[in-house]
Structure 1
Amino acid sequence: MPSPTSPSSIVQQARQALADRLREIRTEAGLTAQALAAAAGWHRTKVSKLEHAVTSPSAADIREWCDLCGAADQAGDLIASLRAVDSMYVEWRRLHRAGLRRQMESRLPLYERTRHFRAYSSWLVPGLLQTRAYTAAVLRSIMRRQRLPDDVDEAVASRMERQRVLHEGDHRFALLIEESVLRSAVCDRGTMAGQLDHLITCSSLPSVSLGVIPMGTGRDRWPVEGFWIFDEEQVNVELVSSYLTITQPREVAEYAQAFAELAAMAVHGEPARALIRAAIDALG
């Protein structure tokens, strides 16, 4: 069963919230599901499917629904909600269609305006803490796997440019990783050793709090997909196949709570650096 903050659960909750609002409008209008379907010229099961989020309405469906229920003034907000749900879940292939560099550049304004960053990663070193060589290895792997145009060098340069937020302005960064990230063989040993050494350097920056959750830690909160929280504005979740954007305040708060629980299991400062040095030693 999906957890309350699992991507599939969050998207379905958003769809169901829209469906519930449509049902409220119909019942407030005193119409049965059958009467509304007949008035709209729809199949008799369509209203039920829309109200149970079995199928998603179109913008035209919402306008027709609201018109027939005497709630035309609510159609605009409901269509905006529909578009928000549709934009929550974007396949990586669609996101990368214009190339990796374009995707990197498109996110720079979000990073520049965010003051408080919180990020958790169970797979990779967070992008803001990656070295040029580590980033190149990761992006080249994505390029090959998704058969994308080779603009890796430009994409790496864009990510390195994004990292200036670590040193400029009043940004604050609370970043968490699982200890397994320190030992994942996503690149050659030399590149990984350089990356781990860079993590030690970054952990000493005044704007950065780096936490490492040790392997073998007793835990109630299991590792989850990597996510970024940008102020209280939005959450981005990185999935195997897609990229999830969450802006509903209640859902953003759920991720903030998950981050707090994960942070409570992490070690910081010198204990975290000791784990990183142990991973460097393990590379031989």
Structure 2
Amino acid sequence: MSTDFQQARVALGMRLRELRTEGGLTGRQLAGHLGWTQSKVSKLETGRQTATHDDLNAWAVGVGQPQAAPELVSRLRTFESQSRSWRRQLAAGHRPVQDRLTVEYERSTVMRAWEGSMVVGMLQTADYARHVFSAYVDLHQSPRDVEDAVRSRVRRQESLYQPGKRYEIIMWEAALRAMVCPPGVMAAQLDRLSGVIGLDTVRLGIVPCGAALPLPPANGFWLYDERLAIVEDWHAELWLDQPDSLALYLRVWESLAGAAVYGSDAHKVIARCRRALGSV
């Protein structure tokens, strides 16, 4: 869980405890009023459990301060907007998620990315993207709208050729070797990456597996200008716009970018990965 998310949840818990004590209730008494276990009250107050909107409304009424409910719900919505669970986002499938991301690409001029586990979406072929989406549909048991999601992702790639845009993309060599698709699909994907090098709008860097890394190659993320970072984890996406968080992710990106190779050297790494596939 992110530090920002956890800190916000703890702060909400402190406010819940404050309201309970102002109401002259013990945790056991409040739990009895609401028909909850005492452990639920404790977990909400210590930030070990995320409250629902219904929980907060019930809490405000239970402590005799129903007027506090809008404040509590507003706090919850603030950190819910930062941590966007895949379960909630994918309720209608992958296509709406892709469409929301397209809006952020359209709003941005300079986009920076780090990815260590797979080819970034903006450079994926349709066949590669199809295998990635299918895997995540199975993982999250979400609606199977794979073809719609692929079309949305491929259409977004038109901005790679839009004057004025700038993509600074860094990938670990391991991402080019991860067989998340059949060898033939991977071969075409690597050919696609070779073709991207040299585009006016794209600077593609590859961090070789043998390179000295200034930091562990952790989660993939995108930086959109200096206003937004989107970080992916298994359970959620984090949408971060706080200046200190943005500065942190920029430092991470710059550190990893310093370990990357570019131009003809990047071509050599891609070619090495392509040869490893054999004659497919």
Q: Shorter-chain TM-score: which interval?
A: 0.7 to 0.9
Distance in 2 (alpha carbons) for counterparts of 1:76 and 1:166 = 43
Q: CA deviation at 1:241?
A: 2.5
Residue pair 2:176, 2:270 contacting (<8 A) in 1 also: yes
Structure 1 unmatched ranges of 5 or more = 1-6
Aligned residue for 2:138? 144
1:231 paired with 2:202, answer no
Question: For 2:198, what is the secondary structure of its paired residue?
Answer: coil
Aligned residue for 2:153? 159
Name the amino acid aligned to 1:90: R
Distance in 2 (alpha carbons) for counterparts of 1:256 and 1:62 = 40
Aligned length: 267
Name the amino acid aligned to 1:256: L
Question: For 1:265, what is the secondary structure of its paired residue?
Answer: coil
Identity of matched residues, %: 34
Distance in 2 (alpha carbons) for counterparts of 1:106 and 1:117 = 16
Residue pair 2:90, 2:143 contacting (<8 A) in 1 also: no
Distance in 1 (alpha carbons) for counterparts of 2:99 and 2:24 = 46
1:123 paired with 2:117, answer yes
Question: For 1:173, what is the secondary structure of its paired residue?
Answer: strand
Change (3 A) 1:75 1:148: closer
Question: For 2:111, what is the secondary structure of its paired residue?
Answer: strand
RMSD of aligned residue pairs (Cα, Å): 3.3
Q: Give TM-score scaled by structure 1 length.
A: 0.79
Residue pair 2:83, 2:238 contacting (<8 A) in 1 also: yes
Aligned residue for 1:4? none
Residue pair 2:214, 2:256 contacting (<8 A) in 1 also: no
Residue pair 2:166, 2:202 contacting (<8 A) in 1 also: yes
Q: CA deviation at 1:151?
A: 2.2
Aligned residue for 2:103? 109
Aligned residue for 2:174? 180
Q: CA deviation at 1:149?
A: 3.5
Q: CA deviation at 1:83?
A: 1.1
Distance in 2 (alpha carbons) for counterparts of 1:56 and 1:147 = 23
Change (3 A) 1:169 1:36: farther
Aligned residue for 2:253? 259
Question: In the TM superposition, what whole-angstrom CA distance separates every residue of 1:31-85 from its partner, at most 9, and x where no partner exists?
Answer: 9x8455459x857x99997675345566558978xx98xxx9x997775443121
Distance in 2 (alpha carbons) for counterparts of 1:146 and 1:118 = 27
Aligned residue for 1:11? 5
Distance in 1 (alpha carbons) for counterparts of 2:109 and 2:59 = 38
Q: Give TM-score scaled by structure 2 length.
A: 0.80
> After TM superposition, where is structure 1 displaced by more than 6 Å over at least 4 residues in a row?
45-51, 61-64, 74-78
Range with bigger deviation, 87-96 or 183-192 = 87-96
Range with bigger deviation, 167-176 or 148-157 = 148-157
Distance in 1 (alpha carbons) for counterparts of 2:196 and 2:221 = 20
Residue pair 1:36, 1:47 contacting (<8 A) in 2 also: no
Match of 1:199 among 170, 187, 193: 193
Structure 2 unmatched ranges of 5 or more = 32-37
